[in-house]
Structure 1
Amino acid sequence: MTRSEELPLQGKRILITRAEKQSKAFARRLRELGGEPVHFPVIQITRPADEDPLDAALDRLETFDWLVFTSANGVRHFFRRMDERLQDTRVLQTIRTAAVGPKTAEALKERKLHVLITPEQNHAEALAAALAPAVQPGEEILFPRGNLARRAWLEELELLGCRVTDVVAYETRPRTKGADRMVEQLRAGEVDIVTFTSSSTVHNFIQAIQRVEPDWHMLLDGVKTACIGPSTAAALREKGVEPDAVAEPHSLDGLIQAVTEIAGNE
């Protein structure tokens, strides 16, 4: 048996729905495992249409006790705006920082920030649980987020007496370019596994293919699905599709492992 035949994803065509600029490392890893990445980005990450709320928070950075991030995109766009404003980042050294998971923490460390809290589980509720014993009543928390980020988990911190300021640092927008070709590939059986990395990739993917094929469920007959975490899986179930795998841990590494397990079970 040759080395290529031993690769776990050999001959598998794996659809990537995440934003194009963020999918390079994921696609490279899939190829290393023998898979063939199929790109159909259904979201694009942009700066906010209105940056005044973010600017207002940046104007009073020194008043915050905590800086909390739930995505690497939030980190990148937060610092993008600071850089555009020529704002001195040394003020952040006095603010305690929390990150939802290792990729987000890594993005912060690249900016020379010490991450005080990173929960074991990579999701917002776990971050709230990890923060709860560390915060004090009256403390100010800044949460730079995406426009689609859920806010409900912050209520626990507010019940503890914290003052939470959440501002949009970036926007996730639908992208439908290439939907006709994508539907053709699905009809022809040219996709083996579809990967979803957020609830928005689920919604936008289905919206895009549904515009071309109203009976979109039949396009997924024989196609396996893998989700990066429970909220993404819940979004897929809401559309009537049961995920074949949910990543554990809830990260791209976990998603690659989930895809590999799906391929091994076929």
Structure 2
Amino acid sequence: MRVFVTRPEHEARRWVDELCQRGFDAQAFPLIAILPVADAAPVQDAWRRLAACRAAMFVSGNAVRHFFGSRPAGMAWPPAARAWATGAGTHAALIAAGVPGASIDAPPASAVQFDSETLWSQVAPQVRTGDRVLIVRGGDAQGAAAGRDWLAERLGSVGAVVDTVVSYRRGAPQLTAAQLALARAGGVWLFSSSEAIAHLTELLPQQDWRGSRAVATHPRIAHAARRAGFGVVCESRPAVDAVVAVLESFR
């Protein structure tokens, strides 16, 4: 069974390796291109303000890697600052970047979802009125902040001061003719982003997806896949074992 792994390239590799080991014909098919920001100065300024923050929340592993990639020389993670991660990949990226594990807050591995809502249930007791929280996120292809504002709104509702910095940009992929032909031939699509679905339908505007199957790692993403016309859409926790269980049901 061919499985298209649509995560950005850096993240797709691990998933492809894991799925191939489980007997699937997994193909890296990144539907989001990860790009550096045009100007690193705002990220460097955020680093200089980090010691005054209660916490910094990272939306993804890419946010971590690009934030630390623009770190001013000689600066280290402030001992008093917490690092918030929404999932295991972001947590691992923080560890790889040198943030002490004791400084990281993230949903437990057993969580039903790895998202802002689940993270908030873990970190809400930390936040006091007047605390500063930095949200490190991605931007669109032009560098404008993009993504959900749920956590920022929740922090504001309890009196926290929220700063946002864009550490990387997300753009549409550049696919080859061979890749597009492979997509038309079909397989099971593994989606971890609604944006990836939008890019796929833009790249193949004439494709009829009613006979295609998709696995989505969040209810919002599943909703986007159904709107795009996928005939079979199954939801899964964003963990390899959970995704494999769904894929096995397709055999």
Select 1:100's aligned residue among 86, 111, 115: 86
Greater C-alpha radius of gyration: 1
Q: CA RMSD of the aligned region, Å?
A: 2.1
In the TM superposition, residue 231 of structure 1 has moved relative to its aligned partner by 2.7
TM-score under structure 1 length normalisation: 0.81
Distance 1:144 1:78 in 2: 8
Q: How big is each residue's C-alpha offset from its partner over 1:65-100, in whole Å with a ceiling of 9 and x where there is no partner?
A: 111122111111111111xx213214x212122211
In the TM superposition, residue 259 of structure 1 has moved relative to its aligned partner by 4.3
Distance 2:63 2:148 in 1: 13
In the TM superposition, residue 182 of structure 1 has moved relative to its aligned partner by 4.1
In the TM superposition, residue 265 of structure 1 has moved relative to its aligned partner by 4.0
Q: How big is each residue's C-alpha offset from its partner over 1:18-47, in whole Å with a ceiling of 9 and x where there is no partner?
A: 222322111111211111123332211111
Select 2:199's aligned residue among 204, 212, 218: 204
Q: Which residue identity is paired with 1:68?
A: M
Q: Which residue of 1 aligns with 2:189?
A: 194
Q: Does 1:51 align with 2:40?
A: yes
In the TM superposition, residue 138 of structure 1 has moved relative to its aligned partner by 0.5
SS of 2:163's partner is strand
Q: Which residue of 2 aligns with 1:157?
A: 155
In the TM superposition, residue 116 of structure 1 has moved relative to its aligned partner by 4.2
Select 2:106's aligned residue among 86, 103, 118: 118
Q: Which residue of 2 aligns with 1:69?
A: 58
Select 1:258's aligned residue among 240, 243, 248: 243
Q: Confirm or deny: 8 A CA contact 1:245 1:262 kept in the other structure.
A: no
Q: Confirm or deny: 8 A CA contact 1:136 1:160 kept in the other structure.
A: yes
Distance 1:192 1:42 in 2: 15
Residues 181, 43 of structure 1: CA spacing in aligned structure 2 closer, same or farther, 3 A cutoff? same
Q: Which residue of 1 aligns with 2:74?
A: 87
SS of 1:26's partner is helix
Residues 192, 177 of structure 1: CA spacing in aligned structure 2 closer, same or farther, 3 A cutoff? closer
Q: Percent identity?
A: 25
Q: Confirm or deny: 8 A CA contact 2:212 2:232 kept in the other structure.
A: no
SS of 1:195's partner is strand
SS of 1:161's partner is coil
Distance 1:133 1:60 in 2: 22
Distance 2:3 2:106 in 1: 30
The aligned runs of 1:172-251 (5 Å cut-off) are 172-178=170-176, 180-187=177-184, 189=185, 191-210=186-205, 214=206, 216=207, 218=208, 220-241=209-230, 244-248=233-237, 250-251=238-239
Q: Which residue of 2 aligns with 1:9?
A: none
Residues 96, 19 of structure 1: CA spacing in aligned structure 2 closer, same or farther, 3 A cutoff? closer
Residues 46, 177 of structure 1: CA spacing in aligned structure 2 closer, same or farther, 3 A cutoff? same
Distance 1:116 1:20 in 2: 25
Q: Confirm or deny: 8 A CA contact 2:116 2:150 kept in the other structure.
A: no
In the TM superposition, residue 61 of structure 1 has moved relative to its aligned partner by 2.0
Gap regions ≥5 residues in structure 2: 140-145
